[in-house]
Amino acid sequence: MKNIFLSLFAALTVLSCATMNTSKVGSSQVNIAGTQWTLADNVRGKTPTLNVEAGKVTGNAGCNNYFGELSLDPTAGNFAAKNVGATKMACDNLDVESTFLKMLNEANKYVVKGNTLELYRGNLLLMKLNKM
């Protein structure tokens, strides 16, 4: 009986944490046009950045500069980077760069929590960025 109770408690705790993290996904967000962000994770080499402008994204992916179109809808928290391209310099940390750009292309939702921007694919958190 004790094991059943502990298992149920653990499952409810995990479920409540998952619900808390995604409760704002898909809801109205502040407009992030005209803002600059840096990846919150510690990575080897230069930290990737994200500059959000009206209709476009730019920044540095850790080595190369990138640029692309952006469809942003703050009323629904929608975020969609399209046609993202980058310069082609050879660098040591291209794995960080390719992962960053892949997640940027997959993001379709965003949530702003204070000075933190979270990018999601559906309810799956892809990355966190800090306001510059």
Which secondary structure element, helix H or strand E, spans residue 92, and what is its range? none
Distance CA 14, CA 33 (A): 34
In a domain, 76, yes or no: yes
Q: What is the pLDDT of residues 32-63, one digit of tens each?
A: 999 999 999 999 889 999 999 999 999 999 99
**Based on the structure, what is the number of domains in the chain?**
1
pLDDT value for 16: 40
pTM of the model: 0.80
User: Would you say residue 15 lies in a domain?
Assistant: no
Pairing relationship of beta strands 35-39 and 49-53 according to DSSP bridges: antiparallel
Asked whether residue 47 is domain-assigned, the answer is yes
Range of the domain at 37: 26-131
Q: DSSP string of 60-87?
A: E-SSSEEEEEEEEETTTTEEEEEEEEE-
Kindly tell me if the per-residue pLDDT of 10 is higher than 80: no
In a domain, 8, yes or no: no
The answer as to whether 2 is a domain residue is no
**How many Å apart are CA 19 and CA 13, to the nearest integer?**
10
Of 23 and 7, the one with more pLDDT: 23
- Which CATH number covers residue 96? 2.40.128.270
The 10s digit of each residue's pLDDT in 66-107 is: 999 999 999 999 999 999 999 999 888 799 999 999 999 999
